[in-house]
Chains A and B, each alone.
Chain A
Amino acid sequence: MNLESIPLQAFLIVSSALFCIGIWGLLNSRNAVRVLMSIELMLNAVNINLMAFSSYVDNNLIQGQVFTIFVITVAAAEAAVGLAILLSLYRNRVTVDMESFNLLKW
């Protein structure tokens, strides 16, 4: 191994795999809490991507790290509101099964 550092592509592949796992969980989960967890996984994949590019391409003006901070902020807000919506849904329908939340289905 005569590389100087970990290649950028390694980080990108890890974040791609994490993002695809998140999408799979989002599409296939029956439990609404697991759907929220999958969204968090996808946001983390995006964060890894931003951090890798920030470190390898733009390492003097680390704007990717600032964007990551903002994404973390938005993710925290999203988790709080999402779980509040989930509690309110549970109170109204007494289930967390995604298949039963079909009131807006045409």
Chain B
Amino acid sequence: MSIAITTQFICFTVLSLVVIIGALGVVLLESIVYSAFLLGGVFMSVAGLYLLLNASFVAAAQVLVYVGAVNVLIIFAIMLVNKKEDLKPINDIKSRRVISTSICLTLLSLLIRVDLTNVWSLSSPQNSIGEESTIRIGEHLFSDYLLPFEVASVLLLMAMIGAIVLARRDVMSKDISTGLPVDQELIEKASEPLLTNKN
């Protein structure tokens, strides 16, 4: 990359701080809407980190898929299920918090220890192919990663059909193949939710 090293360091520091503080905000803020918008900021900063690593195609894919699709989907889900409710208090919430926080901090310290003590064998100087990486990704996708590429397309189709089947509310009054009326008892009723009394 042709940016001066000092500029790279400044960009990396700012982007990392935005990633870490934004992620903390995502998990700690009270309002879920603020969390969703902070999540978009975290995704954008991660795309910036990819640009620092000279991967412009993956950075663009990150912005398009994460910020453009996943984050918008999450905001729609919040809009659909956003109901103010009083959460039931849990009696051992303190000990749960302490245990989970200590587990996470232990895992973090172990990971950082591995990062710092391991001797990484860096084979060659960074970024020798530069902008050619997009061409290289395309070659990979159509030669040695062709089978995963095709499987990914099938996976996306399955996810699309599954999401439609799971999320749709309206039911048909007739069976498509036979034309007989559908037994409405088998289908969930919107007015009387199932399973609510068992907590």
Give the B-binding residues of A (Cβ under 8 A): 1, 3-6, 8-14, 16-25, 27-31, 33-34, 36-38, 40-41, 44, 47-48, 51-52, 54-63, 65-66, 68-70, 72-81, 83-88, 90-97, 99-100, 102-103
**Interface residues in B, total, Cβ within 8 A:** 95
* Complex interface bits, B16-56 against A, C-beta within 8 A gives 1, otherwise 0: 10011001101100001001100100110010011011110
- Does A59 lie within 8 Å of B74, measured CB to CB? no
Question: With A87-B80, A103-B195 in contact, do A18 and B23 touch (Cβ < 8 Å)?
Answer: yes
Q: Which residue from B42, B61, B136, B167 sits with its C-beta under 8 Å from A44? A: B42
Given contacts A12-B115, A95-B83, 8 further A-B contacts (CB under 8 A): A28-B96, A34-B26, A37-B39, A51-B53, A63-B140, A81-B159, A84-B164, A103-B198
- A63: min CB distance to chain B, Å: 7
Contacts of B160 in A (CB 8 A): 80
Contacts of A29 in B (CB 8 A): 27
Contact A61 B8 (CB under 8 A): no
Residues of chain A contacted by B124 (CB below 8 angstroms): 59-60
B180 at the interface (CB under 8 A from A): no
Is B46 in contact with A55, judged by CB distance below 8 angstroms?
A: no
Quick one: closest A residue to B153, CB to CB? A73
Asked if A6 and B12 sit within 8 Å, CB to CB, the answer is: yes
Chain B residues near A48 (CB, 8 Å)?
46, 49
Contact, CB under 8 Å: A33 / B32: yes
The interface residues of chain A lying within 8 Å CB-to-CB of B5 are 1, 3-5
